[in-house]
Structure 1
């Protein structure tokens, strides 16, 4: 029986589905087929599937969710003695307004966390072929209703509150393990400290510490630099940190990234990439260990083939270097977004951008006159760092612009924290391979060279001097009085010193969802088309368009593109 050839539209839909970057949105049936093996996968999965509390650390897009889902599905499909529970807390910021409007916000947030865990139990049971529900487990529909009620700002009856307290959630898990003769529960909490509300993060870590037991092993995926643990939670003692950001160096790195790219193309790169030696490897280094960035660049080559190819059909060298610039822009956009998500640190973030550019300039000057194999791609920051510089370095790590590479002692000269600098910036700003006419081989030579001990050494004082930051570089930016507009004199002030009006805290979540859709990474043309073809104007309108009906009513927006836009809206508030 012959099969009909696929139409162009069907091939495009298939391509778009294969190039979904976020692991949580991939079809479970194709999950393994579309993902490469992390270089440290065996060790990391072993820790995720075993007992003990762990913190999976890395910037956005580095593969934390992929590893968590791998662990979850391996435990779910094998004859394991563990109950795996996977919960994604990406949109936990939607509960942040409670911390402004409700005196009992911590209580409601912890209740919500417990409900999400019980919901995750049900999901595991329904997805598994061997797990079965027990009589003591609350009904799935009842849990969903309770979650919706809390997210909508509503209350729960007292009896239900007792039913979903932390102690009750622990009891449900313990009883299920006993009734099913399972050894432990592996609790995989993804995007756990995503919320940018410090108090919300502190409440999460209190929950994490308290749910941990001999038979319940919580694992959480968090970001470097911006995560605030509680006073009672101590990293290293209460949980082991696991760094999952892959260092862009060596054959193992190239194999990992190339395998990932080939899998997304069905087993091998298309001709336009295969016939351009070194391009796939160059883009892998340009992505700086962020698989999501690498996939974005590969997708662009295929989706905008006319833009990136010459008349003879081969890749245009100059356009390839444009792609490397797009990679670093992705990380810079994440960094810039911190001004919206952490408005009180706006001065820090601006000063950090200035300092980062000076770091790149220092590397460029250091490499001047050296051969490609001797070029530095790292800097050394002398310990101890000032609190201000330490905060900025954390922001740069979160954004994927600085990668920690360990420490190095130089005797009387001091001990230095070593950081690799985003290769996309080093390429774009001629900090490595300073030739005017850019070709790919010299960059591959520089990035493939063995690590060496020569790099610029900088102190906190030097960074502040380099940045020419000004006297207000590290002042906190406090919200102005809503009544008269006067600047607050203290973050603890309750009344305006100018007009006497009571000062109100603003909701970060409300500010983010109230922004125009142009704040999302979509073109101005598409923004205009969406606004003219639908009622969608704000980010909130996309998030509330649950079935994507409004988005799909817009000309040239099909189900795959609508889903991608919805994902961008979720990332915006995450």
Structure 2
């Protein structure tokens, strides 16, 4: 494997790959143990920080230990929820319940827990066998997902099930098979910018909790709506997946993540240690960002690293964030304001001290008063979603005894404007103080342009956006060059063609069987859905 073939996404990996590439830290181990426990967990983190990877590690460990623990891991992703017609609230609810049930039945069958004549889940489908139930539910959720292709096709929306029925079926399964409990690992659980779907999901998440079933859900920061019926502090434990860049083991673990994927890079990383450290520090704890920037350097040296840091953190990340305004027109004002706020005011404030003293400023934290306008908070939340900011503590008292939220500015974003971002990143590495912040009060003058914006009335043009993007080329998707090339070879060169494809279609390629076609489908679908969601 060359650096250009590093795997950026968990969807690229088999469970065996996940086990092979996993670099354990104390935080990771604690998180995985929580995911395997009876607790209800909300796993929160920006794109690429490793939420899916941790879910998969937990799944693999439970699979490997099933004969002893009798804990059944069921992994399911909701990444296609953005394709659903959001005007029909019941459609998402029943799609979600059908998908959860079908995946539970599927995993139980794989473990030999359901025999051919078993009727543990029969109550979910009017007395039908578990096989027939699973088949009907799979047909239902696939039909709902594919409805965007033909809007005139009548849909069966009602799954005929509810959370209580699922809990009863799971309890019966555990009692009859000696299974201790089921752990439901839901990836892409709360799809961004569709508040109604998110509120429905968290209500179901609360209602599914039982001694035999626990739910773990991965969500994005800043754009998740829990709803009135789900109280995060009461109904679940929140785990933020943010690697501490000031942890003494941080750089070692980030090196190991890259070398574990490609051992041939070890010599180059050792020879150019300071350059690698700058890239790792600039990534601000995001493994995908590190892997992408390492891959883009081609040959690891100072000149290439400086070029990549400037291109990625000055252009790519900001471009992706600004593109949210084209996808979600109602959010355009806050997205544009957030970029202007950081680029034209916050970052220059930090750099101005450098010009006055001759030394780089040590600050990468900003603090926003808790009573700042709602539109300001929305802008900051979206910056967290894009990975440009990271929330680093709420309810914090700043100067003058005022209370607010602290945010960490992405180190790459902070240092990319410098003439030598590699040197700037390494200088910051040894000089950051979490106590030093740029502070913005409740009524700062920079808020004036959006202070009166009504956040509640921001529109969500999901369906129209999806329709307008179907002709976009596969080159715009965030996937490896190898995966992109295979899709093109098969003729799936646009977003619409990929969404319309099946695993059988992918098997038309030479040397592609059921396992490889499933991997290709996962990779392609994940890339498409992340593109559509921003």
TM range (shorter): 0.7 to 0.9
Q: Do residues 209 (structure 1) and 210 (structure 2) align?
A: no
Where does 1:519-530 land on structure 2 (aligned, <5 Å)?
A: 520-521=476-477
Q: Do residues 345 (structure 1) and 331 (structure 2) align?
A: yes
Aligned residue for 2:234, secondary structure, equals coil
Q: Do residues 289 (structure 1) and 285 (structure 2) align?
A: yes
CA distance in 1, matches of 2:521, 2:179: 41
CA distance in 2, matches of 1:551, 1:371: 60
Q: Do residues 336 (structure 1) and 284 (structure 2) align?
A: no
Partner of residue 324 from structure 1, selected from 309, 313, 318: 309
Q: Is the 8 A contact 2:411 2:425 kept in 1?
A: no
Q: 1:240 to 1:106 in 2, by over 3 A?
A: same
In structure 1, the gaps of 5 or more residues are 1-10, 306-314, 431-435, 480-490, 492-504
Q: 1:478 to 1:551 in 2, by over 3 A?
A: farther
Aligned length: 501
Alignment-derived partner of residue 517 in structure 1: 473
Shift of 1:124: 2.7
Aligned residue for 2:259, secondary structure, equals helix
Name the structure, 1 or 2, with higher relative contact order (CA <8 Å, separation 6+).
2
Alignment-derived partner of residue 107 in structure 1: 90
CA distance in 1, matches of 2:476, 2:71: 40
Q: 1:519 to 1:415 in 2, by over 3 A?
A: farther
Alignment-derived partner of residue 231 in structure 2: 234
Shift of 1:541: 1.8
Shift of 1:257: 0.9
Q: 1:440 to 1:345 in 2, by over 3 A?
A: closer
* Worse-superposed segment, 66-75 or 145-154: 145-154
Shift of 1:573: 2.5
Shift of 1:265: 0.8
In structure 2, the gaps of 5 or more residues are 122-129, 148-153, 510-515
Shift of 1:72: 1.5
CA distance in 1, matches of 2:249, 2:427: 16
Alignment-derived partner of residue 436 in structure 2: 454
Partner of residue 135 from structure 2, selected from 130, 136, 141: 141
Aligned residue for 1:219, secondary structure, equals strand
Where does 1:137-536 land on structure 2 (aligned, <5 Å)?
A: 137=121, 138-139=130-131, 140-153=134-147, 154-156=154-156, 161-162=159-160, 164-266=161-263, 269-302=265-298, 305=299, 315-328=300-313, 329-357=315-343, 358-370=345-357, 375-407=362-394, 408-410=396-398, 412-430=400-418, 436=419, 438=420, 440-441=422-423, 443-449=425-431, 451-462=433-444, 465-466=445-446, 469=449, 507-508=463-464, 510-511=466-467, 513-517=469-473, 520-521=476-477
CA distance in 2, matches of 1:243, 1:389: 22
Shift of 1:552: 9.4
Q: Do residues 89 (structure 1) and 66 (structure 2) align?
A: no
Q: Do residues 542 (structure 1) and 528 (structure 2) align?
A: no
Q: Is the 8 A contact 2:79 2:526 kept in 1?
A: no
* Worse-superposed segment, 35-44 or 226-235: 35-44
Q: Is the 8 A contact 1:59 1:399 kept in 2?
A: yes
CA distance in 1, matches of 2:180, 2:249: 35
Q: Is the 8 A contact 1:57 1:222 kept in 2?
A: yes
Aligned residue for 2:42, secondary structure, equals strand
Aligned residue for 1:278, secondary structure, equals helix
CA distance in 1, matches of 2:219, 2:270: 36
Q: Is the 8 A contact 2:364 2:432 kept in 1?
A: no
Aligned residue for 1:20, secondary structure, equals coil
* Worse-superposed segment, 343-352 or 164-173: 164-173
**1:39-64: per-residue Cα shift (whole Å, max 9, x none)?**
40122122211112211111111111
The alignment yields a C-alpha RMSD, in angstroms, of 3.6
Q: 1:131 to 1:340 in 2, by over 3 A?
A: farther
Shift of 1:400: 0.6
**1:91-135: per-residue Cα shift (whole Å, max 9, x none)?**
11121x2x33xxxx333322221221122223433554x755544
CA distance in 1, matches of 2:412, 2:106: 40
Aligned residue for 1:429, secondary structure, equals coil
Higher gyration radius (CA):
1
Q: 1:155 to 1:562 in 2, by over 3 A?
A: closer
Shift of 1:547: 4.6
Report the TM-score when normalising by structure 1.
0.77
Shift of 1:533: 8.6
Q: 1:30 to 1:475 in 2, by over 3 A?
A: closer
CA distance in 1, matches of 2:493, 2:211: 50
